[in-house]
Structure 1
Amino acid sequence: TGWYRHAEIPLINGWLVRLGAAHQMRVDVTETPSDISEESLRAYDVLLINNANELDQVFSQQQRAAIRQWYQAGGGIVGLHAALVRQQGWEWFSELGGCDFESDSNYQRAKVMVDPQARDHPAVEGYGPEFWYSADWHNHTRPVTGLEGVQVLLRVDESTYEPVRDYFLEQGATPMGEDHPVSWTRQYDGSRFFYTELGHDLRSLDTEFGRMHILEAIRWVAKSTSEE
């Protein structure tokens, strides 16, 4: 990470390895930026960004170009939680994600709504039209609804929780309002990107829904599902 480091990144890394092993996926983990190169990326179908923020401070311009070229050639990217925090310094990745971090909530239970157009997506299938879930919810700089190639999967109902915690209220932050996406896909610039708010800590992931959500996110960006 280039900025704030979430304390449970190592726990989530281990959880991802175990999840992959249980479903015949090879998962390698690194926190060493130099491990990422044009050559090393060739071995992988998916790059999963576990809360790694401000990546322009982590990867060199050459490494960022290698990731972009790998993606454009068909590699898929999954972003967890803070993967869309302070990424404006990497213009391409910021555009791919569609927004950045503005503020957040405390860990709270909230009503989550499945977009009607996405109910058959494998990462949310069987959970529509709405359900309750607990997580730390981000407020983004803009809704991604309507951006080219974006399909919103989940929105959170701000009337069911406190969307801005006190720290950010004191700085003048405001909720996003009725259109508050918390998970989406994007088919853009040659391949597939998946983002989810889940992943601030392990408790937001290690549930029946969380395990399915992340597993199917990986499969979707790897193009190993029949969903288009």
Structure 2
Amino acid sequence: MSFRNTLGKSIGGAGQVVLGLAILAALLAGLHLAPATRGAPSSADQATAAGQGGSSQNTYQDKVADYGVCRGTDSDCYNDWDLPRTDDGRVRVLVFTATGVSRHAHLGPLLPAGMNPPLTSAHVAQNAVIRWGQEYGFEVDWTEDVRQLDAPAKLAPYDAVVFLSNSRTMLDDASQTALLQYVRSGGGFVAIHNTLGAMYHWPWFQGLLGGANFYDHGPHRDGEVVTISRRDASTRDLPRRWDFRDEWYNLEPFPTGVRFLAEVNTDTIGDAPGFNGHPGHEGDHPVSWCQYYDGGRAWITSLGHDPAAWTEDSTLEGAGSFETHVVGGILSAAGAQPFCR
């Protein structure tokens, strides 16, 4: 006996057979609606990822995450609130260099607690930002003490906070909350080099970085930086191409929803773009980008590994372009120059 006849007999009556068939058809239709590739990005998702900065390689066509906030290159995502710091004629910057595990040589030895602790000649990155501030007209404070970031009122006076080569977990709950509220109030955020390898467990922070993380890098070596956008404050005074020496971070996920500012010419960095099976980003390898994020401005670069890039009167090729690039990023994130053009 067929399944159809069995169903009709169990219900009883010809009219009930029709009802039973209708119910069965509805159930089968519901099953048909379930996608065969549940959880996989659709072609539309992949097209969106590519259009918002995703690579043409399928490896990096991750589903684009919005992190539950307004983010992207549209200034409508910026909270243009009337804050005292925006109209006092001063530009204040806080440089935060706390590290959780690894520590780059350009940061020098660990700093003692407090604000503006004594620096030595080994603290070449902190000294460089202070020197640039004196030259380009912005005030700089510096610290590695997370207690200096543990309340919104402590960050409120700053036009931009610069996270410089931080690593892994270096913020506690209070400082995470303060940073989030600072950015949402229209604050400026700058991330340099190894900060792309920090706070992996905090999705909001990963979104602040453009949805990208440090994955790995090849040997520290020479390469050619290509300036993509010449309209931005951080790139308008740069040559179209400039030589530099760095680690050339591979990123996973690939940045999305951002405006790319500079990339490395992968033809100039040898035949081994990455380690651990990661193929790198051949022909599409960004090193700097910007975005509006959750009310604030965010400017990010993976450049800056070599201590010579931060040293005064450096002989490193491209050090002057790196300085121009980072200073423009700081000033634009702080609102002192047009942002993310």
| TM-score band, normalised by shorter chain | 0.7 to 0.9
Counterpart of 2:289, as a letter, is W
1:205 shift after superposition: 4.1
Deviates more, 1:178-187 or 1:105-114: 105-114
Relative distance call for 1:163 and 1:44 in structure 2 (3 A) is farther
- Residues 212 and 252, structure 2, Cα contact 8 Å, conserved in 1: yes
CA contact (8 A) 1:154 1:181 kept: yes
Deviates more, 1:75-84 or 1:36-45: 36-45
Helix, strand or coil at the partner of 2:217: strand
Kindly indicate whether the alpha-carbon contact (under 8 Å) linking 1:143 and 1:181 is maintained by their aligned counterparts in 2.
Answer: no
Matched with 2:264 is 156
Amino acid at match of 1:42: A
How many residues align? The count is 218
Give, in whole Å, the separation in 2 of the partners of 1:110 and 1:177. 13
Checking the alignment, whether the CA contact within 8 Å between 2:206 and 2:213 is kept in structure 1 is: yes
Residue 127 and residue 22 in structure 1: after superposition, are their counterparts in 2 closer, same or farther (change >3 A)?
closer
When residues 61 and 164 of structure 1 are mapped into structure 2, their CA distance, relative to the original with a 3 A threshold, is farther
1:74 paired residue number: 186
Partner residue in 2 for 1:138: 249
- Partner residue, 1:119: 230
Correspondence 1:191 to 2:191: no
**Residues 166 and 198, structure 2, Cα contact 8 Å, conserved in 1:** no
Cα distance in 2 between the residues matched to 1:151 and 1:163: 27
CA distance in 2, matches of 1:16, 1:163: 34
Aligned to 1:31: 144
CA drift of 1:226 comes to: 3.4
- The 1:7–1:128 alpha-carbon spacing in structure 2 relative to 1, beyond 3 Å, is closer
Q: Which amino acid aligns with 2:281?
A: M
Q: Deviations over 1:82-114 (max 9, x none)?
A: 011043212111111121011112222212222
Q: 1:204 to 1:105 in 2, by over 3 A?
A: farther
The equivalences for 1:1-228 within 5 A come to 1-9=99-107, 10-37=123-150, 38-54=152-168, 57-97=169-209, 98-115=211-228, 118-144=229-255, 147-148=256-257, 150-162=258-270, 164=272, 169=275, 171-206=276-311, 207-227=319-339, 228=341
Query: 2:127 & 2:242 partners in 1: Cα distance?
Result: 27
Asked whether the 8 Å contact 2:170–2:199 carries over to 1, the reply is no
RMSD: 1.8
Deviation, 1:52, is 0.7
Counterpart residue type for residue 8 of structure 1:
H
CA distance in 2, matches of 1:107, 1:172: 18
Distance in 2, Cα, partners of 1:74 & 1:122 = 19
* Deviations 1:208-228, CA, capped at 9 Å, x for gaps: 212111111111101111354
Write the deviation string for residues 163-207 of structure 1: whole angstroms up to 9, x where unpaired: 757xx63x3232222211100011121111011122213323452
**Displacement after TM superposition at 1:156 (Å):** 0.9
Post-superposition offset of 1:4:
1.0
Flag the 1:164–1:89 CA change in 2: closer, same or farther, 3 A.
farther
Task: Tell me, in whole angstroms, the C-alpha distance in 2 between the residues paired with 1:87 and 1:106.
Answer: 24
Q: Distance in 2 between the 1:163 and 1:184 partners? A: 25
Over 3 Å counting, the alpha-carbon distance change for 1:24 and 1:86 in structure 2 is closer
Determine the C-alpha separation between the residues in 1 that align with 2:216 and 2:271: 9
Higher Rg: 2
Does the 8 Å contact 2:196/2:302 carry over to 1?
A: no
Q: Give the secondary structure class of the aligned counterpart of 1:106.
A: coil
Give 2:48's aligned residue.
none
Q: CA 1:163 to 1:181, structure 2 compared with 1: closer, same or farther past 3 Å?
A: farther
